[in-house]
Amino acid sequence: MDRRDFLGTVAGGLLATPLAAFAQPGQCGRGALSPRSARSRPRAQDRAPRATVASSDEVRASLRALKPGAADAYLQAGDSTIVSQTDVIIDVARTKKLPTMFSDETSVARGGLASYGLNYRTASRHAATYVRRVLAGADPGDLPVEQMDEPYIVINLQTARGLGLTIPPPLLQRADQVIE
């Protein structure tokens, strides 16, 4: 399951409905704009509103320009221009009744619906462990490469209620954090 599928499940079966996303050119968050791989069946999300934005003003303008029915949810890209507008994204999404998917838990605590991604606190502690080992004399080339096996999931039930959504119990059980 990827972030898009997870958002669809959290938002009540939006797996076949449009999903809005914006990203800055050349940034890692651009994956939110990518159509699914050729092996995947086409979905309405792949035809949904997407915009390449180069500034905070363009993010705000693109969000406000979303027409009713153009998208049934919003997937936030993880680049700095987009992330800097999280409060605007949450406000516009609340007004337009769009479920939101973020990659960080703090955006969910601020009013987003859900996050599915890296737990930055855990990743930072893990990175510090690597730094400590290198400073203690370990050869960086001898250290194992590790990656996140499971996403860190946060769900905001207050936002879900405001959107008229009921989160399926299996997702609530799978969540690492549920905000009441």
Structural domains of the chain sorted by starting position, each given as residue range(s) with its CATH number in brackets: 3-117+150-179 (3.40.50.2300), 120-149 (no CATH)
Print the SS3 string covering the chain.
Answer: CCHHHHHHHHCCCHHHCCCEEEECCCCHHHHHHCCCCCCCCCCHHHHCCEEECCCHHHHHHHHHCCCCCCCCCEEECCCHHHHCCHHHHHHHHHHHCCCEEECCHHHHHCCCCEEEECCHHHHHHHHHHHHHHHHCCCCHHHCCCCCCCCCEEEEEHHHHHHHCCCCCHHHHHHCCEEEC
Task: Work out the average pLDDT over 105-125.
Answer: 89
The 10 Å Cβ neighbour count of residue 41 is: 7
Residue closest to 2 by CA, chosen among 129, 147, 127, 101: 101
Model confidence, pTM = 0.75
pLDDT in tens, 65-76: 877 777 778 888
Given a cut of 70, is residue 112 above it in pLDDT?
A: yes
The 10 Å Cβ neighbour count of residue 170 is: 9
Task: Work out the average pLDDT over 131-146.
Answer: 92
Given a cut of 80, is residue 41 above it in pLDDT?
A: no
Maximum average pLDDT range among 6-10, 15-19, 62-66: 62-66
Q: How confident is the model at residue 29 (pLDDT cuts 50, 70, 90)?
A: very low
Task: Work out the average pLDDT over 73-88.
Answer: 80
Burial label, 44 (beta-carbon count in 10 A; 0-12, 13-18, 19+): middle
Task: Work out the average pLDDT over 54-75.
Answer: 79
